[in-house]
């Protein structure tokens, strides 16, 4: 069968979505060659911005007929290279599909298109006293579709869970172009949990075009405590002991000295620039219950010699403290031209041990590493600062990052808590799964995407040759040179 040529494909795409929404000029495509994973890039051959699910279905069917890979993309805030078109192809940018279709306050759910910005959903539902719980650091710009694709978390996932805990159902376009619905608003729908399978699948099984999510009732009262410590070890011990005492705060976030200095210079959030670590501890509930709960948390913290224990006295002060945490990574631009932000997970009890290893890795490689992370659930975000113009620097940074993730896995943790796998950690999946495990995942991929054109080269490692060892040392990622699609 003759494969559709580029000219014909572009003409058909323009018929489907309109000529302004099909981009082919190099100066337009360059915008889409990278996400927030700052150490790799590759250009798509065509970018298409559909406006409806039916258009997505037709575009995918056309791409399949042309034998062209399809990569879904939202706002481009991903941190694992998941939307980098490593095999070229057609990039589906879903930011035009940005409508909140329904907010059902009575049933506490919302129906949204994938291009809805995370924080806009909470703002819209606040009129009914509701909110959408998953709150990644990028929530001011990241989209719900991208959050679902990577199963994003955030500071408040300690109490409320990650994105997958709040997705009830989805409309999904398969690799054939067919549209199907998975999941249900029902509490316990029968059948296979296909919605659970698709959350976190990083665009490798289908393209999500509509999402039904759970909304929560806003708490009666919120209290935020700032605890300042001389060392990360003291702060880490406090985290473990608070949870061990049977207290589960809404959020427990940690920021180290490197990040604090950058944040204070940029935002003036009220963090001391000369301390070792800061904990932000937030609780929610009935107004009468919170003072006692805060006293219990403060009593635990005092056993670890805090320099400062201070409650935010106003909504404005609380917002400023959280602004410092949410914008901490951006503030690091004051310290270096680039950074590489990792996403390992460790048991809370191992926080002091693993943080000491992160510091040792930084010394070994002569690097500066800042830390800002979800301490309550052990989700670390070591951020390696570097200048990519220095010869050999990127290799040192990648090696240090690999050693950090190995330390997380050795401590009983994982290679990702909320950013996903993408191309960054694809080969590291072998550290957690046997080849039999991975083959089972590949069979799922084949069932949904038999032609292998949906976001190729992501999430699952390359198939191993016979007799290969399971723990091969591989680079974290690679973008291979490719021939043109129509050459």
Strand partners of residue 308: 228
Give the pLDDT score at 485. 53
The tens digit of pLDDT for each residue in 288-300 reads: 999 999 999 999 9
Please give the C-alpha separations between residue 476 and each of 81, 403, 413, 441, in angstroms, as whole numbers.
Answer: 11, 11, 18, 20
Give the pLDDT score at 272. 85
> Within the chain, which residues score under 50 in pLDDT?
464-476, 479-484, 486-487
pTM of the full predicted structure? 0.92
Burial class (CB in 10 A: 0-12, 13-18, 19+), 471: exposed
From 226, 175, 228, select the one nearest 198 (Cα to Cα): 175
Give the pLDDT score at 327. 83
- Structure tokens that stand for 321 in this block: 């403290």
Please give the C-alpha separations between residue 230 and each of 7, 377, 429, in angstroms, as whole numbers.
Answer: 63, 22, 36
Give the pLDDT score at 478. 52
Q: Which domains does the chain have, with CATH numbers?
A: 6-93 (3.30.43.10), 100-217 (3.30.465.10), 220-324 (3.30.70.3450), 336-454 (3.30.70.2740)
Give the pLDDT score at 186. 80
From 244, 243, 271, select the one nearest 258 (Cα to Cα): 271
Give the pLDDT score at 329. 83
């Amino acid at each position: 069968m003759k494969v559709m040529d580029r000219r014909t494909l572009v003409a058909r795409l323009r018929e489907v979505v309109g000529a302004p929404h099909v981009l082919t000029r190099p100066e337009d495509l360059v915008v889409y060659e990278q996400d927030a994973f700052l150490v790799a890039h590759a250009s798509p051959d065509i970018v298409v911005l559909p406006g409806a699910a039916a258009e997505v279905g037709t575009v995918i069917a056309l791409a399949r007929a042309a034998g062209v890979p399809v990569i879904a993309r939202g706002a481009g805030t991903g941190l694992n290279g998941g939307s980098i078109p490593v095999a070229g192809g057609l990039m589906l940018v879903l930011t035009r599909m940005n409508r909140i279709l329904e907010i059902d306050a009575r049933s506490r759910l919302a129906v949204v298109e994938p291009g809805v910005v995370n924080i806009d959903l909470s703002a819209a539902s606040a009129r009914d006293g509701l909110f959408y719980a998953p709150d990644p650091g990028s929530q001011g710009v990241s989209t719900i579709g991208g959050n679902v694709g990577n199963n994003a978390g955030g500071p408040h996932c300690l109490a409320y869970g990650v994105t997958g805990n709040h997705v009830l159902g989805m409309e999904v376009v398969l690799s054939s172009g067919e549209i199907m619905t998975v999941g249900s608003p029902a509490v316990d729908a029968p059948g296979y949990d296909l919605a659970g399978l698709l959350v976190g699948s990083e665009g490798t099984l289908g393209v999500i075009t509509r999402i039904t999510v759970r909304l929560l009732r806003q708490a009666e009262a919120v209290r935020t405590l700032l605890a300042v410590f001389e060392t990360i070890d003291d702060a880490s011990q406090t985290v473990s002991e608070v949870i061990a005492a049977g207290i589960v705060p809404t959020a427990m976030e940690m920021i180290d000295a490197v990040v604090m200095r950058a944040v204070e210079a940029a935002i003036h959030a009220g963090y001391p620039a000369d301390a070792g670590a800061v904990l932000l501890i937030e609780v929610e509930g009935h107004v009468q219950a919170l003072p006692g709960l805060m006293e219990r948390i403060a009593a635990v913290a005092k056993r670890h010699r805090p320099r400062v224990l201070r409650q935010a006295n106003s909504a404005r002060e609380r917002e400023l403290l959280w602004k410092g945490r949410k914008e901490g990574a951006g503030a690091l631009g004051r310290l270096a031209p680039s950074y590489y932000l990792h996403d390992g997970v460790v048991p809370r009890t191992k926080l002091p041990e693993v943080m000491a290893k992160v510091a040792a890795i930084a010394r070994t490689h002569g690097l500066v590493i800042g830390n800002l992370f979800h301490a309550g659930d052990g989700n670390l975000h070591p951020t390696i600062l570097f200048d990519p113009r220095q010869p050999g620097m990127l290799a040192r940074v990648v090696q240090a990052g690999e050693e950090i993730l190995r330390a997380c896995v050795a401590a009983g943790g994982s290679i990702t808590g909320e950013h996903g796998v993408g191309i960054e950690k694809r080969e590291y999946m072998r550290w957690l799964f046997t080849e039999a495990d991975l083959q089972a995942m590949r069979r799922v991929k084949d069932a949904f995407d038999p032609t292998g054109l949906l976001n190729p080269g992501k999430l699952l490692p390359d198939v191993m040759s016979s007799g290969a060892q399971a723990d091969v040392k591989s680079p974290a990622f690679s973008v291979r040179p490719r021939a043109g699609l129509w050459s």
